Structures are given as structure tokens and as C-alpha cells.
A = this chain, B = another copy of it.
Amino acid sequence: MAGTNRFAGRTVLVTGADIYMGPAISERFDMEGARVIRDTGDYADAEAPARIIAAAGTVDVLVINLLPVKMRRCPVQEVSEEAWQDMFAALVHPTMRFIKAVLPQMIERREGKIVVVTSAAPLRAIASAAAYTAARGAQNALVLAAGAEVARHNVQINAVGQNFVYGGYPADAMDKPEIREAVLREVPSQRIAEGWEQAELVLFLASQNSNFICGQVIPFAGGWVTTG
């Protein structure tokens, strides 16, 4: 897995660089020679994304990697208004703000890549995670719509719809016995993926080799979801 300098001279901005898939993705872009801007900001502020993008200058690749502050599994009827709003504030609204902030420069250059790390949850229901699933579904639908819209400018927006990845969400879940049992029973690959494997898909979607792929949510879940 030695790097081959595929992203030399490219600037990659990774949001949430210290959470979720941020560390694995940042490290992998490093290895490929990219200039990686590891953003670890607080995205509660609606102005933050515009400021962060402005400060970054040219952004060739934007990886939108976001997590809820906390997630408590509970029946749908017990999700509090606050938990619901927090979920959308953490996942959905910053996604839109980052896309809006970076698109003008990408459209002007007629080149750019946005990869949103989302979830496979909206592709196959997970019990007791209604708010999370709805918010991830909003991200996925936004990727589909915005991706189809800006493809004509040679800007590609895609999502990785993941599950069962180390470093994934919730961070400690992957070591729980019930997750391991679920993996053996429900995940055709019968294992949990390493973070670098997920990062490889992000790199592929961020490269000039995937310019014809746009507006897609690519499942990354060991066969747990099916598409096609």
C-alpha cells in the first residue's frame, strides 16, 4: 500500500479530520502526495464552512466527513426534538453549506471533486436509528441532486454509503459482541473493513479516473446492501 503520488500537487480538504473516517482518509491522501488540510472545526456555526473554504484557497478535493455529537439508539417515538435537530445540524446542514461554499471555485475552474462520507443505513433500515437514517438519507439525496446538477461543469459529487468499518460510527460499536455476531450473519464479507479500505474508495472517487461517476451513493458495506 505504498503511495504512488497520485495526488501530488492537489489540495484536499477533509472535514472532521479527527473523527469518523477523517484520520484514515487524511493519512491515505498524505501517502499519495496530496496537500491535506485537516479541518477539525466546529460546524455548528452556519458561517463556518464558508470561512473554512475561503481560508483554504484552492480546494481540488473536498471530503465532507461529519458525525453527530452523540447518538442514543431509541424507538422513533422517543426521539426528542432536540436530538432530532442536533442530528440534522451535525450531518445535513453543514453538508449543504460546504457544498455551496466550494462549488463556485470548482465550477469556475471546471474541475473539482466532492466526496461525502455518509452511511448505508438509508439503503437498509437499522432499528432504533430513525433520526440518523433520515439525516443520512438527506445527505444521500442531496448528493444525488447536486451531483446530477453540477456534473456538466466537470465537478463530481458522490457519496460513500458505508457500514461495518473500523473507525466508523459509533466508534466503539465495532468491537461489541452483538456487532460481531451481526457481521457474521448479515455481512456477506463476514468481517469489518479497515479504515484504509474505505479511504481507497474515497481516493478513487476523488481521482481523475472516475470523472464519469457522479451523483452516486456507492455502497461500502461488505455486501450488506444491494444495489442494481
Contact = CB atoms under 8 A, between A and B. Distances in A.
Interface majority SS (helix, strand, loop, mixed), chain A = helix
One complex includes copies of this chain to the number of 4
Contact of A190 (B151, B197, B210): B151
Given A84-B96, A100-B77, A151-B223, A121 B134 contact: no
Contact of A127 (B103, B139, B148, B217): B148
Contacts of A103: 76-77
Interface residues of A, number: 81
**Most chain B beta-carbon neighbours within 10 Å: one of A129, A137, A209:** A137
A100 to B, nearest CB: 5
Nearest to A192: B212
Contacts of A170: none
B93 A146 contact: no
A58 interface: no
Interface of A: 1, 4, 46, 75-77, 79, 81, 84-85, 88, 92-93, 96-97, 99-100, 103-104, 107, 121-131, 133-152, 159, 161, 165, 188-190, 193, 197-198, 200-201, 204, 209-223, 226-228
